[in-house]
Amino acid sequence: MNRDLTSKTRTERDSLGDVEVPADALYGAQTQRAIDNFPVSGLVMPRAFIRALGLIKQACAAVNVRQGQLDDTIGAAVQQAAARVASGEYDSQFPIDVFQTGSGTSTNMNANEVIAALARRDAGVAVHPNDHVNMSQSSNDVIPSCIHVSAALLVYEELLPALRHLHQVLEDKGQQLAATVKTGRTHLMDAMPVTMGQELGGWASQVALAIARLEQSSVRLTALAIGGTAVGTGINAQPQFGEGVAASLAQLTGIQFVVKDNYFEALSCQDTAVETSGQLKTLATALLKISNDLRWMNSGPLTGLAEIELPALQPGSSIMPGKVNPVIPEAVAMACAQVTGNDVTITLAGQSGNFQLNVMLPVIGYNLLQSIQIMASSARLLADKAIAGFTVNVERLAAALDRNPILVTALNREVGYEKGAAIAKQAYAQKRPVLEVALELTDLDEDTLKRLLDPRLLTGCN
C-alpha cells in the first residue's frame, strides 16, 4: 500500500527497527509492515473473522485474570477493548490483505496492537500487545480457533435460519400447489406427469438434507485449537487455559465451544473447514439445481415452457422493451458457482498443513466465511423473491398434459409396449390427444381410457 508521504505519521519501533505509521492509526509497527509487505488484492479479513478475533482475545484475557497470570486492571482493560473490536467499531483498523503470512500472524498481531492501544487510551494503563493481549496464545492456535468460531457463529446465526426459512417457504408453496398437475421431464424431454407439490417437495427435501449435513459438520466447528499455542504442546499457557477460553466463549456467544481432543491435529490441519466447505458446496449444488429448474419453468413467455411466472423485479434488457429476466435464480446460480470455486481453494489450502501448522489459514477463513454468508443470503433471496411469489400458468400446464404422448405409458399393461409406441408416435405426429388416438387403435372404451390416462392419478395422488 502506497502512503501519502505528506500525511502525518508517527514512528513505531519493533524488533526490526523503526516504522512510520499513520498518526491516527491504532495499530503499530507489525501491522504497518504487513500492510507494506502484502499489497496483493485489497481484500481484507471479513467482519465475521474480526468479530471472532475480538471475542477470542476477550475470552483469553478473562481466563488469564482468573488464573492469576494477568493483572486485574490490565485484564479488564483488555477485555473491554477486545469487546469493542468484536462489536465492529474498529474494523477500519484491520487493513491487512488476506494474502499474507500463512499462519495469519499479521492479523493476530494487528488485533494485539489495536486492542493494546485501545486499552491504553481508554483505561490509562500500560498494555503490551504481546505480553498482555497475546498472553498464553500463539497465532498458531488463535487463527485456527478464529476460523472455527467465526464459521460456527455464521452457520448458527445466519445460514441455518436462512435455510430453515427456505425450507418452510418450499413446504408452504408445495402444499398450495399439491393438486396442480404438470408434465414431468427427464433429459429435458416430456415424461410422466407429476404435481408441482411433488416437484417442490423434492426441492424441500434437498434443503432439509443440507440443513442436516451442516448441523452435523458444525458440531466439529465448535471444537477449538486454543490452548495448543505454538506447536500443540501448550507452551506458555497454564493447564486448562484452553478449556477456560472455550467456556468463556460459550458464555459470550451462546454456542457450546470446547477444545479439540488433540491439539496437534487442531494446529496442523484444517480438515473441519474442508468438511464444512464440502457441505456448503453440496448446498450450492442443490440451490443451483433449484435455480435452474425455476429458470426453465419460467422460460418464455411464448416460446419457452412458461409453466410459471416469477415476480417481475426489474427490466430485463437495455435494448428489448418489456423483457423481464429471472434475475434472482441467476444471481443465486452465480453465488453457487462462487461457493464451488471457494471449495476448490479451501481444499487446496487444507492440503498445506506442513508438520505442525497449516500455512494457508487466512485464505481458508476468507473463503469459508464468504461461502457461508452468500449461501445464507441466497437462500433468503430464493425463498422471498422467487419461490414465495411465483404464479402458475394453469392453462399452459393443462394444454401440455393433454398433448403429452408419454401418457401412453399408462397403457403398457393393457396394450403392450409396441402398441403404446405406435399410439404415442401417431399422437405426436398428428398433434392430437393420446386418448383420441388410443380410441382408434385399441379396443379400450372411452371411460377406461379416461381412467387410465387421468394425469392426476398417474402422479400417485388420490
* Cα separation, 365 vs 410, whole angstroms: 54
Nearest in space to 308 (alpha carbons), one of 404, 386, 406: 386
- C-alpha distances (whole Å) from 299 to each of 54, 189, 201, 302, 324 are 48, 15, 21, 8, 10
Whether residue 148 lies in the annotated active site: no
Catalytic residue among 187, 217, 248, 268: 187
Interhelix angle 160-176/361-382, rounded to 10 degrees, is 30
φ, ψ dihedrals at 204, nearest 5°? -60, -40
CB-CB contact of 316 with 298 (8 Å): no
The identity of residue 320, as a single letter, is: M
Catalytic residue among 7, 87, 92, 317: 317
**Close Cβ partners of 351 (under 8 Å, ≥ 6 residues apart):** none
* Cα separation, 424 vs 184, whole angstroms: 16
* Cα separation, 65 vs 138, whole angstroms: 18
Residue 259 CB neighbour total at 10 angstroms:
23
* Cα separation, 409 vs 421, whole angstroms: 9
Strand-pairing partners, residue 13, are 18
Whether residue 371 lies in the annotated active site: no
Nearest in space to 393 (alpha carbons), one of 307, 328, 317: 307
Peptide bond before residue 326 is cis, with ω within 30 degrees of 0: no
- C-alpha distances (whole Å) from 255 to each of 156, 219, 330, 354, 461 are 9, 10, 35, 30, 44
- Chain-centre distance for alpha carbon 204: 18
Find where cell 387403435 sits. 441
* Cα separation, 65 vs 73, whole angstroms: 9
Q: What is the DSSP string of 20-58?
A: EEETT-S--HHHHHHHHH--SSS-B--HHHHHHHHHHHH
φ, ψ dihedrals at 34, nearest 5°? -65, -40
Active site residues: 187, 317
